[in-house]
Amino acid sequence: MRSVSGLLAHVDHDGSVVVQVGGVGLGIAVSAQTLAALPHAGEAVSLQTHLAVREDALDLYGFATPAERELFAAFIGVSGVGPRSALALCGLDSPEALRHAIATGDAGHLQRAPGVGKRTAERLVVELRDRVGAFATAASPAGRVPVAARAGGGGIGAVADAREGLVALGFTPDEAAYALRDAPGDLDAAALVRHGLAALRKP
């Protein structure tokens, strides 16, 4: 589940967006950096994504660039750093500036992120300096998030829309069809996507 492409349906300045993929509206939490790079509502958008699986929820996080997504994944791998704190860190500065702060041991810079205290910032530097700080990062394209090659289309019926939504989340068409094979017939497209994701989580 590496990316989502569709129409930017809605933007909340609390750090969440809705991307319309077929007939499904996907709620995605984004960083301040990504929020500032988004196109206008109604335009096509493509986001790099990370799906966080919890016992009672599936949370989708979106990023303007692969570099930002990689940093997010590194941050949540550090003890005591959850997805919300990692997203706040990603929104603090560009991926290049964050890597530089880690490489130079600038825990004070990381501490500026909401919810990140002194000990957590120091732990981030210690644990990620060798892994993240030393990486050479290619410059990210400036400006808006890349426009998707195709805007959200749409199949006929909720099942078709849900299948398209699952494919947009990175699953193959066969996986999407398999996940929806036993879905109740009275669910709307969004509920069918949740059903399919739950089915795909099972071993």
Task: Say how many domains are in the chain.
Answer: 2
Claim to verify: residue 70 and residue 119 sit in the same structural domain: yes
Q: Find the CATH number of the domain harbouring 168.
A: 2.40.50.140
To the nearest 10°, report the CA torsion of 77, 203, 62, 178: 170
* Mean pLDDT of all residues belonging to the chain: 82
Claim to verify: residue 53 and residue 70 sit in the same structural domain: no
Q: Find the CATH number of the domain harbouring 120.
A: 1.10.150.20
Cα 195 to Cα 28, 138, 174, 185: the distances in Å are 18, 38, 16, 12
Residue 142, pLDDT score: 39
Claim to verify: residue 89 and residue 118 sit in the same structural domain: yes
Q: Tens of pLDDT along 40-72?
A: 999 999 999 998 877 777 889 999 999 999 999
Residue 20, pLDDT score: 93
| Domain encompassing residue 185 | 3-63+144-201
41, part of any domain: yes
Claim to verify: residue 124 and residue 111 sit in the same structural domain: yes
Last residue of a domain, one of 133, 157, 189: 133
138, part of any domain: no
Residue 2, pLDDT score: 82
Residue 148, pLDDT score: 35
Alpha helices for the chain (secondary structure H):
32-37, 66-76, 83-92, 95-103, 107-110, 118-128, 158-168, 173-179, 189-201
Last residue of a domain, one of 133, 152, 185: 133
Confidence of residue 133 (pLDDT cuts 50, 70, 90): low
Claim to verify: residue 71 and residue 58 sit in the same structural domain: no
Last residue of a domain, one of 90, 106, 133: 133
pTM: 0.68
Claim to verify: residue 128 and residue 73 sit in the same structural domain: yes
Q: Tens of pLDDT along 92-120?
A: 999 999 999 999 999 999 999 999 999 99
139, part of any domain: no
Whole-number Å distance between alpha carbons of 84 and 63:
13
Claim to verify: residue 56 and residue 150 sit in the same structural domain: yes
Claim to verify: residue 159 and residue 116 sit in the same structural domain: no
Confidence of residue 186 (pLDDT cuts 50, 70, 90): confident
Q: Chain-centre distance of CA 161, in angstroms? A: 21
